[in-house]
Amino acid sequence: MKKDDVKTGDTFLVRSNKFLSRTICKVMKHWGKMKGYDTSIIYSHAARFIWIDDVLYLFGSVINGYNPIEFDDNYDWNTSDFAIMRHKPPITFDEEKKTRKFCLHLDSVSITYQYWNFVQWLTLVYLKINLFTKDSEKFCYCYESERMARKDLYPQNYGDVNRTDIFDLLFDKDYELIYRSNPSTSLISKSKARLTPQQKSKTKKRLAP
């Protein structure tokens, strides 16, 4: 799959080696095992792909609230560890316009990221105390806001989304995983490409008896 194959309304899931991402994945894995989910695939962040004037944006909950960011400015198609989900069947042109409008609406009302959400998850997963409440659109976390966008298109298929986890997105019966990146392979290929024949020769000489 190439970047140009992405459609407006596709779900973007990503993880990294940063501490926060690894911690979120760890908490979600623990939660998934408690609930009996397959935990072999877990991502720490979710957003929605939106094409605007031939530029690929990600609309999602980030540090300063629900905002659009350009994909190319923040991720690399070949080296970032991400997955893409798509509604089945793919959404129509009118639905693409509707989801674009909803994302722009969330962007206009959002104030900040729902920072207390991480504490809510830690309390729920490890202490089994549910502190989740229905929050305003002004405060969302990434899994929640992506599921809100799904619900906006098909409200009859979703109930309360204020306690959305990664598995609610991954195992949504109306969506399918259509692409997973392979960053390790890309990094190996890039490393080999950077190693010129002359460099290989020098390496062999250093290792020779």
pLDDT tens, residue by residue, 151-160? 999 999 999 8
Q: Which two tokens stand for residue 162?
A: 């204020």
141's CB contacts (< 8 A; 6+ apart) are: 61, 113, 114, 117
Report if residue 172 sits inside a domain. yes
Tell me the three state secondary structure of residue 162: coil
Q: Is 50 a member of any domain? A: yes
Whether residue 199 lies inside any domain: the answer is: no
Residue 60, in any domain of the structure: yes
d(CA 112, CA 66): 7
Q: Is residue 205 part of a domain?
A: no
Residue 115: count other Cβ atoms within 10 Å of its Cβ: 10
Q: Is 175 left (phi over 0), alpha (psi -120 to 50) or beta?
A: beta
Give the chain's mean pLDDT: 87
DSSP state of 134: P
On whether residue 198 sits in a domain, the answer given is: no
Residue 20 has pLDDT above 50, yes or no: yes
Band (80; pLDDT cuts 50, 70, 90): very high
Domain count, the chain: 1
When pLDDT is cut at 50, 70 and 90, the band that residue 4 belongs to is very high
Instruction: Give me the mean pLDDT over the 36-61 stretch.
Output: 97
DSSP annotation of 137: T
What average pLDDT does the segment 13-31 reach? 96
Q: Is 27 exposed, middle or buried (0-12, 13-18, 19+ CB in 10 A)?
A: buried
Residue 58 resides in a domain: yes
The answer to the question of residue 110 being in a domain is yes
Please tell me the distance from the alpha carbon of residue 158 to that of residue 107, in angstroms, as a whole number.
21
CATH number of the structural domain spanning residue 154: 3.90.1720.10
Task: Give pLDDT, residue 139.
Answer: 74
For the segment 131-158, the average pLDDT, to the nearest whole number, is: 88
State the residue range of the domain holding 93: 3-182
Q: Which residue carries 């207390």 as its tokens?
A: 116
